[in-house]
Amino acid sequence: VRVLFVSSEVSPYSKTGGLADVAAALPASLAAMNHDLMVVTPLYSQVDDRRHRLHPVFDDVEIKLGDRAAAFSVWLADDGRTWFIDLPQLYHRASIYTNDPDEHWRFVMLTVAALELCRQRRWAPDIVHANDWETGLLPLYLRAVFTDDLFRAARTVFTIHNLGYQGVFGAGIADDLGLGDQRYLLHQEHLRQGRIGFLEHALMYADALTTVSPTYAWEIQTTEMGMGLDGLLRRRAHDLVGILNGIDTTVWDPRTDHHLPANYSESNLDDKLVNKWALMAESGIEGGAEVPLLGMISRLVSQKGVELLIRPLARLLAEGRVRCVLLGSGERKYEDALQWLADSFPGRAAYRRGYDEQLAHLIEGGADMFLMPSQYEPCGLNQMYSLAYGTVPVVRRTGGLADTVTHYDPATGEGTGFVFQHYNEEGLTWALEEALAVFPDRKAWRRLQLNGMAQDNSWQRRAGEYDELYRRLVGEEPS
């Protein structure tokens, strides 16, 4: 199957979150299954084109959209699969995402350029797979503007990686979209209310919808968690499936992870302790092996449950019962709260503000437990990294966390972590106390670690579900 996969971030070239990991690993796994993949993404100034040895393929490819015209260049990565749209005036900014007035236009151009690139290559996709709001207009453009033969057979898939980001702009941008007499295809009621949401148009026009875990697929159809789009999602329930993300085992495997001072597996799990010492030394944490070390790596936004964490953690730190290393950046108030913890408990708590790949690996390799008290979590990757690294996750039962972590039962020895239900401090405290009660029992803890490490969350397994979906769509007649 020929698949055009369009994403606003692709690891390792550009990354702010899990989407980048998925946009790298899923196409790679599908390519290994003999599908023909073309991944298209912007050439941001943040992409290190020399390090990644990108080579130029096309120059001056013209796009016309309504009465606007532009020309872009195209670069190709070494993998022969990842194509970069070079439009410096749009993609050379201080960050990957911006609040600039042309933010909508930056991603309209990505969407349209990806299709234009297919024309340039005379490459007819069977499947066009768009991701998140940035490429949410792809199915609409295929219906309204890119109607030539090349795209006639193309079926569209849209994946919701996070419903919290919907790309909603003022109705004033309608003229920029170049839809001409097809403008009636825009959501008319919202247009009258003065807004255009990119993501909602994908929910209206994609042939198939996916999201990144079965539980999240169900949650977003409820009023509580549907963020205003639950009605639309319920109407498309038949076309919506939840497929869990996988982890890229070439990057996240404790046996081979080159960021770790000591590699380890189920058979030499004691060597994990070497990483704990290294993590503590690097973070200025004092204490012995018997004191549990908690880790967290997170974009610090309200979704991630940071506010739940501060008081329970402060109490445990004050009592000297835990140590913690926290990594992340985001909203100022959360950064300040974590900094406050580190300042209040020197030698017990450390906080690194920022984005740090090396430290992220060392936390997964060195911590005893991993914290993810998310309010909602479409899939979540770090809990799966934690399972693979024998770092026991403490999570809330939501989205992908509910689908990948099961609560430990001391009676049977089954379970992979500690799971709480209610989004409040009591819930989290309960789960932490459960974990702290098991930790001193070395045998039980080892069992818990091994249970998690035995779980197969690889992309090799998950890509099979996309493979099935694509085949099913290609076998159907176009609507």
Which parts of this chain interact with ligand ADP (CB under 6 A)? 17-18, 21, 297-299, 327-329, 355-357, 360, 379-382
Tell me if residue 455 falls in helix, strand or coil: coil
Strands 36-42 and 2-6: parallel
Q: Where are the beta strands (DSSP E) in 301-376?
A: 323-330, 349-353, 369-372
The partner residues of 293 in beta bridges, in order of sequence, read 323
> Minimum distance from CB of 360 to ligand ADP (Å)?
4
> Minimum distance from CB of 393 to ligand ADP (Å)?
11
> Minimum distance from CB of 145 to ligand ADP (Å)?
30
> Minimum distance from CB of 242 to ligand ADP (Å)?
14
Nearer to ligand ADP by Cβ, of 18 and 139: the residue is: 18
What is d(CA 154, CA 37) in angstroms, rounded to the nearest whole number?
Answer: 14
> Minimum distance from CB of 25 to ligand ADP (Å)?
11
Nearer to ligand ADP by Cβ, of 259 and 447: the residue is: 259
Strands 55-65 and 36-42: unpaired
> Minimum distance from CB of 252 to ligand ADP (Å)?
8
Nearer to ligand ADP by Cβ, of 277 and 355: the residue is: 355
Nearer to ligand ADP by Cβ, of 328 and 373: the residue is: 328
Q: Nearest to ligand ADP by Cβ — which residue?
A: 18
What is d(CA 125, CA 474) in angstroms, rounded to the nearest whole number?
Answer: 10
Give Cα 61 distance to the centre of its chain: 31
Query: Of all helices (H) and strands (E), which one includes residue 391?
Result: none
Give Cα 369 distance to the centre of its chain: 21
Nearer to ligand ADP by Cβ, of 357 and 441: the residue is: 357
> Minimum distance from CB of 394 to ligand ADP (Å)?
15
Nearer to ligand ADP by Cβ, of 283 and 382: the residue is: 382
Residue 324, C-beta contacts closer than 8 angstroms, at least 6 positions apart:
293, 294, 295, 296, 313, 317, 341, 348, 349, 350, 371
Nearer to ligand ADP by Cβ, of 233 and 327: the residue is: 327
Give Cα 118 distance to the centre of its chain: 26
What is d(CA 334, CA 56) in angstroms, rounded to the nearest whole number?
Answer: 42
What is d(CA 228, CA 346) in angstroms, rounded to the nearest whole number?
Answer: 43
Looking up tokens 């990594």 gives 327
Nearer to ligand ADP by Cβ, of 54 and 360: the residue is: 360
Residue pair 179/185 in contact by the 8 Å Cβ criterion: yes
> Minimum distance from CB of 374 to ligand ADP (Å)?
8
> Minimum distance from CB of 226 to ligand ADP (Å)?
18
Nearer to ligand ADP by Cβ, of 152 and 461: the residue is: 461
What is d(CA 450, CA 442) in angstroms, rounded to the nearest whole number?
Answer: 12
Peptide bond into 393 cis (omega under 30): no
As given in the structure block, the two tokens for residue 2 are 């020929």
> Minimum distance from CB of 361 to ligand ADP (Å)?
9
Nearer to ligand ADP by Cβ, of 221 and 382: the residue is: 382
Nearer to ligand ADP by Cβ, of 17 and 287: the residue is: 17
SS (H, E, C) 40-97: EEECCCCCCCCCCCCEEEEEEEEEEECCEEEEEEEEECCCCCEEEEECHHHHCCCCCC
> Minimum distance from CB of 148 to ligand ADP (Å)?
35
What angle in degrees, to the nearest 10, is found between the helix axes of 425-438 and 442-453?
Answer: 110
